Every structure is written in structure tokens, then in C-alpha cells.
Amino acid sequence: MSDPFYITTAISYPNGSPHIGHAYEAIATDAIARFHRLSGRDVLFTTGTDEHGLKMAQAARNRDITPIALADEMSGQFKRMDEVLNISFDRFIRTTEPAHYEASQAIWRAMVAKGDIYLGRYEGWYSVRDEAFYGEEELVAGEGGEKLSPQGTPVDWTVEESWFFRLSAYAEKLLELYEKQPNFIQPDSRRNEVASFVRGGLTDLSVSRTSFDWGVPVPDAPGHVMYVWVDALTNYLTSTGYPDRSGPLARYWDAGATHIIGKDIVRFHAVYWPAFLMSADLPLPRQIFGHGFLLNKGEKMSKSVGNVVDPIGMAETYGVDQLRYFLLREVSFGADGSYSHEAIVTRCNADLANGLGNLAQRCLSIIAKNGGGVVPEPGALAQADIDLFADLDAAADEAGRFMEEMAIHTALGAIWGAVSAANVYFAEQAPWALRKTDPAAADRVLYVTAETIRQLAILVRWAIPASADALLDLLAQPQDARDFAALKSPLAAGTALPPPQGIFPRWVEPA
């Protein structure tokens, strides 16, 4: 197959249950992966859990269990969340897998061979919650005057023997990369932040720890485990078969990965990761996209703080596709977004139940009742029909352009423009009335509407896959006629359709 496309989520810390921020990242990445599959690209989509480090070790100690027992339990929850949310990952990686130890040790050795790793002594601030080292100048004062990381998390003064990575040697090369490849870090605002951080000068990075042992052992250095971010970032290579560079999956890495991550971890992905890869003489990712944070009524939530919303519960309440659609349509991809019960209900009732759902329900029930459940003959198209199809073509093109720019929400906006146009068309043409005065015209309108629903279902399939497939089932479309190429193969008149069913229930507040 041609045209490989490799896309990843961050791998989550399984120190607690998944929250809605994790669900959001998985859903957005899944939507992009599905979009590219529907476009005919050969997609590898990976996700997983980041199981080492002090944060995991401490969370396990607090529960009086071993880190691996905690990881086993919680990683299962992350995977289950992905399954419930219909996340079409090809590989769920756990960093405790033997293959991942091999990959992490291989990239370590490659960095050693380059002369970029040396033994020293780390003295500085460390935030367990962020799993990050901070310079004195980056710290902020807390309410009681205590020192906090720039993310507002507690920091500890840490002194230990450590291996260092010569990050300082890569500042110029990184700045050149951001300049030459302006899309390497997106959105632009995040690129500017990272570039100014790098311009401020880079210090070498402490990349091993000796004060605990929950990590990947550093090769040939007893007592040292790798700094969790070295091993975590390497997951993206492990999933492509690294260190085997000629195996069946290596081409995905070589095509340039797209890493979808949250804004809090852009520095790790856009500074450390390309520097490690340059050191190891490996190809770089194509893009690091830092999405925004989901706020619960305007407030940041996190596992450690404890104001966490369970995404599986939300999917049970509103429906999987309702939750997916809301997050993809309502949050401007790259910016922070807020959610509330009212916002979800308003958006889903308007766009899904009253928009696409109503159109399908009305058209297909007339075909079932009055047309014997068979797709009617259109005859020669009228101007209004031609205009509607032109609207659909334009929406498909626009959505494609927006998706290239990662503007998921505007891509859906363009498609829902066509949903509105189709609803206006259907109301104006009024096939239920035409049936009495001009049956051939009624058939034509019903055909055009059914064909429009078919195209719309294909166009939204990356966002709301199960509902789109249910619509395509109602139109008796075979599995191999559901990708973007099939947009050009219109519905065959005479096709027998199954009895219509409502696909998008309207939310009614309990009395």
C-alpha cells in the first residue's frame, strides 16, 4: 500500500483512571486517523500508556501495591475507554512491554555512540506530577510563598548522580528545524513559545535516575533507570518495530509521524524528542500538534486534583457519537474548550437529532411508506437538485482543506453547512405534497435527498463512525462503498432498503 500516514496520541500515565481530557485527545486523534483512512491513505494509529517514573511508583506506594499491578489495572481502563469510544487504534502500546525496553535501550545506545551522553551529577528542581526538571528561573511562588513549577505543581530539590544528554548542542539545529518546517509545531502560538524557549538557551538534560528503580535500565550502568520521558517518547518508535529499521512498519516512521498531544507537553515533544532523534540519526516527526485543555465549567481538572469526569459515564449518558461530535465540533482544535450538560444537549439536539437525523428520518420514512422501501428513479435533475449536489461537493472539498490544516471543528462546520442546505431543500421541495400533484418530481426529490444522505454519511464517518454506518446500513450500502472514493458512485435506483429507524435520539430533559 502507498502513502503511509503515522499518527499517535500521547501515552497516558495510568496512575489513575482516564478522564475526559484523555478521551478528548483519543477522539480527536481517532477522527484524524479515520479521515485519512477514508481518503485512501495507509494509516498507522497508535496510543497507549506511559507506565514508568516516580509518579507511577508513588501512586502505587500510596495504594500499597506494586507499580506493575497499578499499571495493569489502570492500563486496562484506558484501553477499555478507547474501545467504548470507538477509537480505531492499530496498536495500544504499554511501556512495560519487552519490545519497548529493547527500543529504549537501542536509542540510548545510539545517543551514546554519538557522544551525546555523559555522566554527571544532577542538582536542581524536579516536579513528580509533571515528571519534569525545572530551572530556578522558571519557578513561580505559590500562595504560601512555596516554590512551584510553571504548571503550578510542587517541586523538590533533587541531588543525584545522573547521565546527561547534551541537549545544549542541539539548540541551533532545533531553531533551524522550526524555521525550515513551520508546520513542525502547531498551532503557531505554540511554535512561537517553544522557539523562544530554545532561543533562551538549552541546558543539558538529566536523563537517568538512581533514587528509584521503576524504569527502563540504562544499558551498562547498574543502578540507573532512564528518565521516564526518554522511554516515554521512544514509544512512538517502538510501535514501528524499532530498532528493526527494515521491518514492515518502519516506513510509517520514515513518512514522518504526526504527534497529537496536549499543550502542557509540547516542550518534551518539540525540543527533547527531535534532539534525541537527531542524535540517534533517525528521521524526525512531520508535526507536533498541541491541542488545548478541556475545562470543566472553566476549571482545570486532573487526576491529582481529583475533580475528574469519567468519560465512559459521559458516553453512556449522551451516547458515544454524541460525545464525539460535541467535542470535535464545539472545541476549536488547538484552543482550550469548556463543556457542560447544556452545551452538549444543545449542540447534539440541533445538529444531530434535528439536523442530520431529521432529514434521514423524514426522507427514508416516506420512501418506506409510499415507495415500497425502494430507492426511486430520479429522472432528469432540476436546477435545485444540481445546486444541492454542488453544495455537497463544495462542502467535501472545504472539509478536506480544513482537515489538512487540522481545523477539525471548521471541517465539521463545512459539512453541517451542507446538512442545513439539504434540510432547506427538502422543506422547499416538500415531496410529501408533490406526491399528490407530480409523483415523478416527488420521486426525484426523494432520490436526491437519499443520495445526499448517503454522501453526508460518508463525509461524517470519521467523526461519528457508528451513526454514519447505521445510516449507510439504512441505505443498503456495502462495506466497500463507504470511503471518500465512493462519494462519486451514486445510489442505484431500485435498491431495496431495510425499514428506517431513528439514528439520533433527541435529548429530552427528565421531568
Give residues in contact with ligand ME8 (CB under 6 A): 10-13, 21-22, 24-25, 50, 232-233, 235, 261-262, 264-265, 293-294, 301
Nearer to ligand ME8 by Cβ, of 125 and 229: the residue is: 229
Best CA proximity match to 322, nearest among 358, 363, 357: 357
Nearer to ligand ME8 by Cβ, of 21 and 500: the residue is: 21
Residue in the structure block whose three cell numbers are 463545512: 414
Shortest distance, position 269 Cβ to ligand ME8, whole Å = 7
Asked whether the beta carbons of 48 and 349 are under 8 A apart, the reply is: no
Nearer to ligand ME8 by Cβ, of 21 and 355: the residue is: 21
Local structure of residue 403 (DSSP, 8 states): H
- What distance in Å separates the CA atoms of residue 187 and residue 192, rounded to the nearest whole number? 9
Spatial strand order of the sheet with 205-206 comes to 132-134, 117-127, 156-165, 205-206
Spatial strand order of the sheet with 299-300 comes to 299-300, 294-296, 337-339
Nearer to ligand ME8 by Cβ, of 49 and 349: the residue is: 49
Nearer to ligand ME8 by Cβ, of 13 and 89: the residue is: 13
Nearer to ligand ME8 by Cβ, of 301 and 446: the residue is: 301
Shortest distance, position 453 Cβ to ligand ME8, whole Å = 33
Name the grid cell of 180: 525550515
* C-beta atoms surrounding 310 within 10 Å: 16
Nearer to ligand ME8 by Cβ, of 169 and 295: the residue is: 295
Name the grid cell of 409: 471543528
Shortest distance, position 322 Cβ to ligand ME8, whole Å = 19
Local structure of residue 52 (DSSP, 8 states): -
Best CA proximity match to 309, nearest among 19, 12, 18: 19
Residue 73 pairs in a beta bridge with: none
499 CB-contact burial (10 Å; exposed 0-12 / middle 13-18 / buried 19+): exposed
Nearer to ligand ME8 by Cβ, of 50 and 451: the residue is: 50
Local structure of residue 496 (DSSP, 8 states): B
Residue nearest to ligand ME8 (CB): 262
Shortest distance, position 487 Cβ to ligand ME8, whole Å = 32
- What distance in Å separates the CA atoms of residue 399 and residue 394, rounded to the nearest whole number? 8
Paired sense of beta strands 140-141 and 299-300, if any: unpaired
Local structure of residue 233 (DSSP, 8 states): H
Name the grid cell of 70: 497499578
Name the grid cell of 447: 432520490
Asked whether the beta carbons of 127 and 138 are under 8 A apart, the reply is: no
Shortest distance, position 261 Cβ to ligand ME8, whole Å = 4
Shortest distance, position 235 Cβ to ligand ME8, whole Å = 6
Nearer to ligand ME8 by Cβ, of 8 and 322: the residue is: 8
Rounded to the nearest 10°, the torsion over CA 275, 279, 280, 281 is: 100
- What distance in Å separates the CA atoms of residue 503 and residue 510, rounded to the nearest whole number? 20
Nearer to ligand ME8 by Cβ, of 206 and 235: the residue is: 235
Shortest distance, position 120 Cβ to ligand ME8, whole Å = 24
Shortest distance, position 288 Cβ to ligand ME8, whole Å = 11
Shortest distance, position 415 Cβ to ligand ME8, whole Å = 24
Shortest distance, position 11 Cβ to ligand ME8, whole Å = 5
